A = this chain, B = another copy of it.
Amino acid sequence: MARPTIYPTMADAVADVPDGITLIVPGFGVGTPLNLLTALHQRGTKEITVVQNGAAQASTDPSVRNVGNLIEDGRVKKLIASFTAATHPSRPSITEQMARAGTLEVELLPQGTVAERIRAGGAGIPAFYTPAGVGTLLSEGKEHRVFNGRTYVLEEGIVADYAFVHAWKADTAGNLIYRHGARNYNPIAAMAGRTTIVEVEEPIVPAGTFSPDEIHTPGVFVTRMV
């Protein structure tokens, strides 16, 4: 569909999200689609492969569930991230504990590689080369190649079954605008989801309200909005 479908509630927007999906979750301090994550947690979807900058500490507010809660509750099969939020080795995060116990698979990547893999997926680029991580543990076992005298490592694009997105403003055509640092992973996540579901802070306005030049994500990338 050219135009996204607008759902009345977060629960409705994720009501059919099945087990075993891959899911891109933006957010870097701000800009995290917490309402959609809370609804997904409530729905009980499991065996999820999550792509996120770093797994947050589980929320202690019972009305808010984040990726940390999904991990803690055993809903996540695999995490692709650049940070696992260990504050000190004596206090391992739940992510670390589960990774050690073998109940969670973790693929740790440089942050720019996480971002570029998502961007590549959304751009129909199956693979690219990056200098990040060359000469470190994180590039071990990966394919290396020299271009113009410099060594790079091959990384593949990520296309996810679902991308959750947090936007500031949206119109009925699905055009999105983000606010300040809440932009972070949201525009590239929106492009890399086969189904992209957006939670919008402000009430959705009629198509044509925004100037075409101020739109950050064109509605053609959006499947559902709440």
Whether, in the assembled complex, A30 has its beta carbon less than 8 Å from a beta carbon of chain B, the answer is no
Stretch from A40-48, A83-91, A146-154, A191-199 that touches the partner: A146-154
Given contacts A177-B213, A180-B213, A214-B214, contact A131 B124 (CB under 8 A): yes
Nearest chain B residue, comparing its CB with the CB of A125? B128
Q: Mark A110-137, 1 if CB is under 8 A from B, else 0.
A: 0000001000100111111111000000
Q: Are B125 and A116 in contact (CB under 8 A)?
A: yes
Whether, in the assembled complex, A156 has its beta carbon less than 8 Å from a beta carbon of chain B, the answer is yes
Q: Are B116 and A123 in contact (CB under 8 A)?
A: yes
Q: Are B130 and A148 in contact (CB under 8 A)?
A: no
- How many chain copies? 2
Whether, in the assembled complex, A178 has its beta carbon less than 8 Å from a beta carbon of chain B, the answer is yes
Whether, in the assembled complex, A142 has its beta carbon less than 8 Å from a beta carbon of chain B, the answer is no
Whether, in the assembled complex, A179 has its beta carbon less than 8 Å from a beta carbon of chain B, the answer is yes
Whether, in the assembled complex, A62 has its beta carbon less than 8 Å from a beta carbon of chain B, the answer is no
Q: How far is the CB of A63 from chain B (nearest CB, A)?
A: 29
Q: Are B129 and A150 in contact (CB under 8 A)?
A: no
Whether, in the assembled complex, A212 has its beta carbon less than 8 Å from a beta carbon of chain B, the answer is yes
Nearest chain B residue, comparing its CB with the CB of A132? B124
Q: How far is the CA of A125 from the CA of B129 in the complex (A)?
A: 6
Nearest chain B residue, comparing its CB with the CB of A178? B213
Can you list 12 contacts pairing A with B, beta carbon distance less than 8 Å?
Answer: A116-B125, A120-B128, A125-B129, A125-B130, A126-B129, A126-B148, A127-B128, A127-B129, A127-B152, A147-B156, A183-B213, A213-B216
Which 8 A-B pairs have CB atoms at the shortest separation, nearest pair first?
A: A126-B147, A128-B128, A127-B129, A125-B128, A126-B129, A214-B214, A126-B152, A127-B147
